[in-house]
């Protein structure tokens, strides 16, 4: 079959800092290609809708698969799927990814025939089976494939979990315009996966429910070989929590040293992991680890408990000290509660100005698949998919909504100005000069975008747009109190290693 995989457009609010290759889509595309299909990828983060039209005309795909990791992309995908079905009624249209796995049945209904099937969970095993079945018997037969949901219902079998994440190797050769992928000054930047899953269970997060709390590790030799294959000088390690297991991180480091791979890295981890496994971060610092994102989330014990972070403010502050000593630039995330008033924003501004780290703010958002969805979904003030990007408030705000955004953006711009202060600017210009010499312009463009993107009027106006597609309240996993394991997409854990 000729299969076209499509990643939707970026969300404006994330594009300002980064734009990264669609690694999950590349892995699924690779699995489909290994199964004998003719495969292409079109990433709408770096191409436009007219390019998709051209691709549909020239490639004439028999199947189109959309990546739907993000709820905010659902309206765009519904519109694209509808127009593809109108234009090519025999084309098999399917979707897969993180968010769509939690709303599969509802989305099939909402698509009114434009989407034939949804792949829940890991896509590498199910997709080739789905394509083979669709090729033989069309959409009707597809509902028999484990982990697949169609208009005929869901397969009784849970989605198959990939035992080893060493294979398939992502089809990076299929993503075009790769120089457009970057994160901050790591420009251009590729992505790599060393582990999959997270053994913690934070109440606002769906990473652990998606993988049924399983945790899988790539073999050190496969991980290093993959780094070796990457052309870009910079790499984003996409693991939910990097280097949970010190020995695993050390073993990959040994291979990287043996192969003399030299790159600069960005990763995300937890403060307690950094405290416990400092040695492995130190070693990776020597190998090129330059940036680290720490999900601190709250500045007080009450908040940490509420989000079930299972860490303490002391541990968080100690971790920041360690990162500073190691010379790693740290961005920390804090969760904004819509119930905040001016005083709480003021405290965050004071904190952000007092620490050298970059402080990033995200607004608490109940996503299907999280525990807070079950307590909070009934309170939602909007179910417009596009607002579920953790930069908008979809729960009631204590301040009038406009005031809330004014405070939020004011806090974000204080933080932004701090990093564009005089000393930072001098350094920034050196980086830009170096990158322009290599024709990389993503970072330079990003710096000037902040004010046009983060604008309280614009954020407020986003709530006033016409809403054509709403996130359904009765998602497959239902509402109301339930046991955590009822939320899992993958129900069988492999290679589970708890903390």
Residue ranges in contact with ligand SF4 by CB under 6 A = 198, 200-202, 205, 207-208, 240-241, 270, 295
Considering only 4, 41, 67, 352, the residue that binds ligand B12 (CB under 6 A) is: 67
Other beta carbons less than 10 A from residue 157's beta carbon: 11
How far apart are CB 429 and ligand B12 at their closest, in Å? 26
The partner in contact with residue 188, picked from ligand B12, ligand SF4, none with C-beta cut-offs of 5 to 8 angstroms by kind, is: none
Q: Which is nearer to ligand B12, 117 or 280 (CB)?
A: 117
Residue 406 CB partners (closer than 8 Å, separation 6+)? 456
The partner in contact with residue 399, picked from ligand B12, ligand SF4, none with C-beta cut-offs of 5 to 8 angstroms by kind, is: none
**Is residue 234 part of the contact set for ligand B12 (CB under 6 A)?**
no
Interacting residues with ligand B12 between 178 and 197 (CB under 6 A): 193
Q: Which is nearer to ligand SF4, 53 or 486 (CB)?
A: 486
Distance, in Å, from the CA atom of 178 to the CA atom of 298, rounded to the nearest integer, reads 36
The partner in contact with residue 270, picked from ligand B12, ligand SF4, none with C-beta cut-offs of 5 to 8 angstroms by kind, is: ligand SF4
**Is residue 81 part of the contact set for ligand B12 (CB under 6 A)?**
no
Quickly tell me which residue has 């190797």 as its tokens: 169
Beta strands in 55-183 (DSSP E): 63-67, 92-96, 117-119, 148-150, 153-154, 182-183
Strand 182-183 relative to strand 18-19: parallel, antiparallel, unpaired? antiparallel
Q: Which is nearer to ligand B12, 18 or 107 (CB)?
A: 18
The partner in contact with residue 304, picked from ligand SF4, ligand B12, none with C-beta cut-offs of 5 to 8 angstroms by kind, is: none
Q: Which is nearer to ligand SF4, 71 or 77 (CB)?
A: 71
Considering only 96, 220, 338, 366, the residue that binds ligand B12 (CB under 6 A) is: 96
Distance, in Å, from the CA atom of 340 to the CA atom of 337, rounded to the nearest integer, reads 6
**Is residue 315 part of the contact set for ligand B12 (CB under 6 A)?**
no
Q: Is 309 helix (H, G, I), strand (E, B) or coil?
A: coil
Quickly tell me which residue has 């095993």 as its tokens: 125
- Copy the structure tokens of residue 249: 């991180």
Q: Which is nearer to ligand SF4, 182 or 293 (CB)?
A: 293
**Which string of b and e fits 42-69 if b means at least 16 CB within 10 Å?**
bbbbbbeeeebeebbeebebbbbbbbbb
- Copy the structure tokens of residue 385: 């998919």
- Copy the structure tokens of residue 397: 């705000």
Distance, in Å, from the CA atom of 471 to the CA atom of 383, rounded to the nearest integer, reads 5
Binding marks (x or -) toward ligand B12, 24..43, rule CB under 6 A? Answer: xx-xx---------------
Q: Which is nearer to ligand SF4, 181 or 211 (CB)?
A: 211
Strand 195-196 relative to strand 216-217: parallel, antiparallel, unpaired? antiparallel
Q: Which of 455, 431, 452 is nearest to 443 (CA)?
A: 431
How far apart are CB 364 and ligand B12 at their closest, in Å? 11
Q: Is 125 helix (H, G, I), strand (E, B) or coil?
A: coil
How far apart are CB 486 and ligand SF4 at their closest, in Å? 17
The partner in contact with residue 200, picked from ligand B12, ligand SF4, none with C-beta cut-offs of 5 to 8 angstroms by kind, is: ligand SF4
Which positions lie near ligand B12, rule CB under 6 A? Answer: 5, 10-11, 13-14, 18, 20, 22-25, 27-28, 65-67, 69-71, 73, 95-99, 119, 122-124, 127, 193, 205-207, 238, 240, 367, 389-391
């Amino acid at each position: 079959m000729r299969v076209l995989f499509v990643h939707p457009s970026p969300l404006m609010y994330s594009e300002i800092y980064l734009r990264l290759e669609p690694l999950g889509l590349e892995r699924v595309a690779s699995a489909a290609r290994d199964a004998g299909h003719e495969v292409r990828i079109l990433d709408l983060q770096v191409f436009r809708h007219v390019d998709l039209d051209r691709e549909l005309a020239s490639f004439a795909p028999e199947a189109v698969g959309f990546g739907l990791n993000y709820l905010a992309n659902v309206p765009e995908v519904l519109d694209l799927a509808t127009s593809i079905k109108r234009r090519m009624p025999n084309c098999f249209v399917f979707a897969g990814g993180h968010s769509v796995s939690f709303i599969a049945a509802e989305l099939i209904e909402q698509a009114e025939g434009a989407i034939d099937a949804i792949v829940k969970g890991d896509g590498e095993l199910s997709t080739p089976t789905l394509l083979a079945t669709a090729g033989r018997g069309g959409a009707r037969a597809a509902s028999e494939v484990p982990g697949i949901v169609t208009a005929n219902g869901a397969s009784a079998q849970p989605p198959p979990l990939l035992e080893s994440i060493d294979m398939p190797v992502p089809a990076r050769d299929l993503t075009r315009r790769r120089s457009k992928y970057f994160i901050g000054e790591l420009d251009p930047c590729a992505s790599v996966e060393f582990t999959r899953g997270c053994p913690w269970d934070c109440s606002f997060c769906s990473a652990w429910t998606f993988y049924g709390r399983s945790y899988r590790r790539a073999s050190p030799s496969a991980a290093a070989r993959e780094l070796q294959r990457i052309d870009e000088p910079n790499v984003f390690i996409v693991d939910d929590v990097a280097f949970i297991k010190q020995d695993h991180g050390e073993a990959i480091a040994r291979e990287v040293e043996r192969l003399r791979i030299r790159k600069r890295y960005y990763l995300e981890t937890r403060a307690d992991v950094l405290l416990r496994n400092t040695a492995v971060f130190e070693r990776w610092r020597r190998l090129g680890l330059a940036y680290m994102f720490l999900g601190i989330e709250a500045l007080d014990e009450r908040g940490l408990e509420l989000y079930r972070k299972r860490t303490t403010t002391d541990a968080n502050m100690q971790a920041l000290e360690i990162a500073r000593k190691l010379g790693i630039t740290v961005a920390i995330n804090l969760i904004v509660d819509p119930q905040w008033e001016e005083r709480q924003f003021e405290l965050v501004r004071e904190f952000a100005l007092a620490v050298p780290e970059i402080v990033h703010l995200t607004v608490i958002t109940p996503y299907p698949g999280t525990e807070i969805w079950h307590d909070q979904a009934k309170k939602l003030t909007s179910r417009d998919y596009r607002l579920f990007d953790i930069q908008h408030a979809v729960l009631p705000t204590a301040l009038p909504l406009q005031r809330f955004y004014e405070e939020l953006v004011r806090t974000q711009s204080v933080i932004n100005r701090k990093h564009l202060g005089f000393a930072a600017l001098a350094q920034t210009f050196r980086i830009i000069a170096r990158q322009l010499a290599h024709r990389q312009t993503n970072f330079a463009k990003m710096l000037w975008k902040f004010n046009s993107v983060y604008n309280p009027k614009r954020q407020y106006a986003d709530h006033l747009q016409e809403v054509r597609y709403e996130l359904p309240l009765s998602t497959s996993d239902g509402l109301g109190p339930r046991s955590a394991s009822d939320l899992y997409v993958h129900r069988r854990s492999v290679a589970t290693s708890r903390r």
